[in-house]
């Protein structure tokens, strides 16, 4: 075991640095276990998700059968790919949501008319809580407390790992 007292300041500095980084992104798989296919209500699917800047939206489908185009609202409403700002066809497409805005995605091979289209609204990241207690006492019940709980879970994991590596006798 690494039990050197010289490692303690390094470990504390590492924990402090990690706590400053933002929470990891969420990968939203379109259609969940049904994937990107005709006949699925993607509006209902999107309404059950909250999207934040930094998240990913991913499309899973048969590679040579379907595709994904990012279009504007007109393209979405009319199922056209003119002026598309992005297109993907790998069958496992991971698209970063890097701006707080509304995104429009359609299938470009005619299946848009069979429901293969989805629009999502991406929100800015909520500000991090000043402390876990402040978050519990100051946030309304409808707020998204998952940001803080993920941070503390990750910190607890790091501390546990450090205790294993350094030995727990220094605490």
Q: Report the chain's mean pLDDT, rounded to a whole number.
A: 78
- How many percent of the chain have pLDDT more than 70? 63
**pLDDT confidence tier of residue 144, bands split at 50, 70 and 90:** very low
* pLDDT over threshold 90, residue 44: yes
Q: What is the pLDDT of residue 128?
A: 78
Q: Which of 95, 44, 35 is nearest to 71 (CA)?
A: 95
State the average pLDDT over residues 36-63. Answer: 96
Q: What is the pLDDT of residue 16?
A: 44
The radius of gyration computed from the CA coordinates of the chain, to the nearest angstrom, equals 22
**pLDDT confidence tier of residue 17, bands split at 50, 70 and 90:** very low
The structural domains of the chain, with segments of one domain joined by +, span 7-22+128-170, 27-123
Max avg pLDDT among 76-85, 127-136, 150-159: 76-85
* pLDDT over threshold 80, residue 9: no
For residues 24 and 137, what is the distance between their CA atoms, to the nearest angstrom?
A: 24
Q: What single string gives the DSSP state of each residue in the chain?
A: ----TTHHHHHHHHHHHHHHSPPPPPEEETTGGG-S-TT--HHHHHHT--EETT-EEEEE--TTT--EEEE-HHHHHHT--TT-SEEE-SSEEEEE--SSSEEEEE-TTTGGGGT-EEEEEEEPPPPPPSSHHHHHHHS-TTS-THHHHHHHHHHHHHHHHHHHHH-GGG-
Tell me which of 52 and 8 has the higher pLDDT: 52
CATH fold label, 27-123: Immunoglobulin-like (2.60.40)
Q: What is the pLDDT of residue 4?
A: 54
């Amino acid at each position: 075991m690494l039990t050197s007292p010289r490692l303690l300041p390094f470990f504390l500095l590492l924990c402090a640095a990690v706590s400053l980084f933002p929470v990891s992104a969420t990968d939203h798989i379109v259609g969940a276990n049904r994937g990107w296919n005709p006949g699925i209500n993607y509006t209902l699917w999107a309404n059950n998700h909250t999207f934040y800047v930094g998240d990913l939206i991913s499309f899973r489908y048969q590679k040579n059968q379907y595709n994904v185009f990012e279009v504007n609202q007109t393209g979405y409403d009319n199922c056209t790919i003119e002026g598309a700002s992005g297109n993907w066809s790998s069958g496992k497409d991971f698209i970063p949501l890097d701006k707080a805005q509304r995104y429009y995605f359609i299938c470009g091979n005619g299946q848009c008319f069979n429901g293969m289209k989805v629009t999502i609204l991406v929100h800015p990241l909520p500000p991090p809580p000043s402390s876990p207690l402040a978050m519990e006492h100051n946030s309304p019940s409808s707020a998204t407390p998952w940001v803080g709980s993920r941070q503390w879970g990750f910190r607890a994991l790091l501390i546990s790992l450090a205790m294993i590596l350094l030995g727990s006798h220094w605490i």
